[in-house]
Structure 1
Amino acid sequence: MDCIANKENTGWGITIFYNMVEHLATRVIIFLSYVALTFGNRESTDQDAFRTILTKDGDRYKCISINQQPSLRHPLLTNHKIQMKPSSYPVELYNRSLSAVNNSLAELPTISCPTGTIPILQDIKGGSTNIFFHTKNGDERAEVAGAKINDDVYGTSVSINVYEPKVKEKTKDISTSFAVLLNAQNKSHLEAIGAGSIVWPSFRGDTFARFHISWMDRTHSGRVQCYDHECPGFVQVGNIGLGGRILPVSIYNGPQYQINVLLFKDPNSKDWWLATGNTLIGYWPSQLFTILKDKAVSAFWGGQVAGPTVQENFPEMGSGHPASEGYGKSAFMGDIKIVDRNNKYAKPDFHKSFAATSKKKCYSVDSFGQDESGLHVYYGGTGGCKCSS
């Protein structure tokens, strides 16, 4: 199912009815001249208010008014009042470091939009692809490797080791390194939110690691995901460019880079917020959800490959090397903590957590454990195995 919302009609239309009386025709000409002058001035104002920014990587972002962003076209968000910040943050948000030893932070794309505007990526080529935890949808199939917890979760923080795994070009296949929170009432009703790095050749015609968000919109039947601003729902408040390139990325047996992702629920509004480090990106309003509105009942941190042709020749996951190769050679999720019902960080219950892979001959997990910084796990694989493997 296509989750792209119908665009609103933003054009200006003028219909004039008049008879053939000569003096009325003259009045109409005067009126039209006034309208042309009025709307000509309005157009100039719009051009002054908005800006198009071209990044050094060739991405083109349009800065639009925060009050005119796509999310506000969602039927459940009619008359929604934008929240610029949550009512409270999880305890320790500003006084704890998520950075692992010997790692450096990669930079998410920050777009210098004017105050009161947000960046929207233009010229998107890709289409929807299923990414959430091992789901099937028609001819698509996802395979995963990473860590999961089955417990009440009100948020999570994680350090995501960023690589650029190889994915077949000219397909809609993807390879992700993602953090996901979900709540499933049954097999046919699953709501989820997530964020992380995706290599997605059909999205912009390249094989870069890009920062994406995704969620399951309950107004759509089946397991259909929405990405970034692909369909209305996510309310952006910061200048992080969704869909933009992450730089630098980790090098096999070389420097390692990571991004820090925080997902958490505002205990008052019940909105689900997304931040990186101390920077707020935006939120999913609580009105979008039913079963996820209160809490998540499981979380996943790891890699996933998905798309219409992955079963023919699986793409790489993580660093493109097995999890057993360890630090500097295989990708990891580290410093994993959850947010509890009291809005405090907590180490995940290790007895309710596990590491797993859905296709052992292709992708592996290793070194799953817990320390004072939280859970950690290595994951990934070379891909290339066949469906029968």
Structure 2
Amino acid sequence: MGMAGYTVALMMIGVIISPCLYGKEFSDHQEIKVQRLLKRLNKHALISIKSEDGDIIDCVPIHSQPAFDHPLLKNHTIQMRPSFIPESTSTYTKKKINATQVWNKNGRCPINTVPIRRIKKEDILRSKSIENFGKKTMTPGILLYGSSSVLEDDPSIGHEYAVMNAMNGLYFGTQFSVNIWKPQVQVRNEFSLAQTWLSSGAGTALNTIEAGLQVYPGKYGDNNVRLFVYWTADGYQRTGCYNTDCPGFVQRSSLVTVGGAYTTVSEYNGNQYELSMLIWKDSGNWWLRIGEELVGYWPGELFNSIGSGATRALWGGEIINAKTGGQHTATDMGSGHFADEGFGKASFFRSLMTVDGSNTLREAQGLYPQITNSNCYNVKAGDAGTTWGVYFFYGGPGLNARCP
């Protein structure tokens, strides 16, 4: 979700996994720990679907999914459907997009089961440590800044952003459409993502709810663009994870799974594809809808400060810059082209809306850009008064003559 600080050396209690784990130094003790984790995360499936992208999707009984291993969810009653869906005050026409995940080509999960992407041994071995599998490793700098438009001295070294930020009230959700691209990632320990953050609190009291699209070979083992979710209730310390890599997020849909890959991607000067996302608070839980599909929710029991609403909403792109060879990464953000190039060339977020205290969707207000280095990646607000509502372009190629 995208902000794992893989460029920073991690000193953690427990076993540190390095490339030697693929060799002889991978001990029997470590093997036992990996197998225990796999057994805990991979639940018994009624059927399993082999996807052409290499994923295995397990169709798990809804009450047996990983979420309910969380101690705070032992007595949780599954919310099968939200009690309401926020209404919009906007007059523009919503465009329906049908982007299906790759695994859907080979089957569907039976009724009363949910699709869970199976965790494999090699997924864990690509992680920095067994204990922190699926977790981000530090607080993203973007969540530590106020209204500064330029992000300097980012404590999450190696992370770069081009985002739009809103901090003018309480937010109970957001809706937007994000352009689907497949950015090129230079090395395995880098990623490129497009996402939204809803956050409140600070330091170890920071709560976040995150969702978007990412290319992250160090996590998934490939360069596919994937749907992801993330959460934390303590500033990325001990709580939270990506997708269903730990107990927390409740999968509800039988068609769309978190961590699933898409093959319908936009082309430069060609067809443009997008994904509509809606996050909103309902009955204490935070629901996620992709297009018209109710994917699942973050249970309210997981959080503390964000229960009263998010104080900050952000949308945009993030990459990791590993500075391979001593120069800036050539990893793309978005389409790999600067925001100034506009539609069909640069990536975009459009129809940005936030959910207010009356559960109404309203066009996002008071947005301001935040950029790490505009010579590498940038963002440009769109014109007002269009059928796209509030929108912006963002992205860039990374390494270039002005970004050495």
Q: Note whether the superposition's TM-score is higher than 0.5.
A: yes
**Paired AA for residue 263 in structure 1:** I
Partners of 1:294 and 1:157 lie apart in 2 by 19
**Paired AA for residue 225 in structure 2:** A
Partners of 2:214 and 2:85 lie apart in 1 by 27
CA contact (8 A) 1:335 1:375 kept: yes
Deviation of residue 376 (structure 1)? 0.4
Number of equivalent positions: 342
Partner of 2:99 in structure 1? Answer: 106
State whether structure 2 residue 52 is matched by structure 1 residue 59. Answer: no
Partners of 1:159 and 1:8 lie apart in 2 by 35
State whether structure 2 residue 118 is matched by structure 1 residue 118. Answer: no
CA contact (8 A) 1:146 1:378 kept: no
Partner of 2:390 in structure 1? Answer: 375
**Paired AA for residue 241 in structure 1:** T
**Paired residue for 1:253, among 249, 263, 269?**
269
**Paired AA for residue 189 in structure 2:** K
Partner of 1:304 in structure 2? Answer: 318
Deviation of residue 385 (structure 1)? 5.8
**Paired residue for 1:341, among 357, 367, 378?**
357
**Paired residue for 1:210, among 207, 210, 226?**
226
Partners of 1:263 and 1:117 lie apart in 2 by 23
Q: Structure 1 residues 253 and 220, CA, compared in 2 at 3 Å: closer, same or farther?
A: closer
Q: Structure 1 residues 359 and 138, CA, compared in 2 at 3 Å: closer, same or farther?
A: closer
Residues 62-77 of structure 1 mapped to structure 2, 5 A cutoff? 62-77=58-73
User: What whole-Å deviation, never above 9, does each CA across 1:75-108 have from its counterpart, x for those lacking one?
Assistant: 1111111111112111249x985339xxx54334
User: What whole-Å deviation, never above 9, does each CA across 1:289-333 have from its counterpart, x for those lacking one?
Assistant: 111112111111111113766895332100001111110000000
* TM-score under structure 2 length normalisation: 0.76
Partner of 2:78 in structure 1? Answer: 82
Q: Structure 1 residues 201 and 342, CA, compared in 2 at 3 Å: closer, same or farther?
A: same
Deviation of residue 58 (structure 1)? 2.4
CA contact (8 A) 1:107 1:259 kept: no
Q: Structure 1 residues 307 and 187, CA, compared in 2 at 3 Å: closer, same or farther?
A: farther
Q: Gaps spanning 5+ residues in structure 1: where? A: 11-45
Q: Structure 1 residues 96 and 280, CA, compared in 2 at 3 Å: closer, same or farther?
A: farther
CA contact (8 A) 1:98 1:260 kept: no
The structure richer in strand per residue is: 1
Structure having the higher Rg? 1
**Paired AA for residue 174 in structure 2:** T
Residues 4-153 of structure 1 mapped to structure 2, 5 A cutoff? 50-92=46-88, 97-99=93-95, 105-109=98-102, 110=104, 112-124=108-120, 125=123, 126-127=126-127, 128-129=135-136, 132=140, 134=142, 140-151=157-168, 152-153=170-171
1:293 match: secondary structure: helix
State whether structure 2 residue 298 is matched by structure 1 residue 295. Answer: no
**Paired AA for residue 46 in structure 2:** F
Deviation of residue 139 (structure 1)? 6.9
Residues 225-244 of structure 1 mapped to structure 2, 5 A cutoff? 226-239=241-254, 240-244=256-260
Partner of 1:25 in structure 2? Answer: none
* TM-score under structure 1 length normalisation: 0.78
Partners of 2:301 and 2:389 lie apart in 1 by 31
Percentage of pairs with the same residue: 31
Partners of 1:174 and 1:341 lie apart in 2 by 35
Q: Structure 1 residues 139 and 364, CA, compared in 2 at 3 Å: closer, same or farther?
A: closer
Partners of 1:290 and 1:387 lie apart in 2 by 43
**Paired residue for 1:332, among 335, 348, 364?**
348
Partner of 1:43 in structure 2? Answer: none
Q: Structure 1 residues 212 and 220, CA, compared in 2 at 3 Å: closer, same or farther?
A: closer
Deviation of residue 243 (structure 1)? 1.2
Partners of 2:310 and 2:356 lie apart in 1 by 11
Q: Structure 1 residues 339 and 217, CA, compared in 2 at 3 Å: closer, same or farther?
A: same
Q: Structure 1 residues 374 and 96, CA, compared in 2 at 3 Å: closer, same or farther?
A: closer
Deviation of residue 217 (structure 1)? 3.5
Two-structure CA RMSD over aligned residues (Å): 3.3
Partners of 2:162 and 2:48 lie apart in 1 by 39
CA contact (8 A) 2:233 2:304 kept: no
CA contact (8 A) 2:141 2:156 kept: no
Q: Structure 1 residues 259 and 210, CA, compared in 2 at 3 Å: closer, same or farther?
A: same
Q: Structure 1 residues 288 and 97, CA, compared in 2 at 3 Å: closer, same or farther?
A: farther
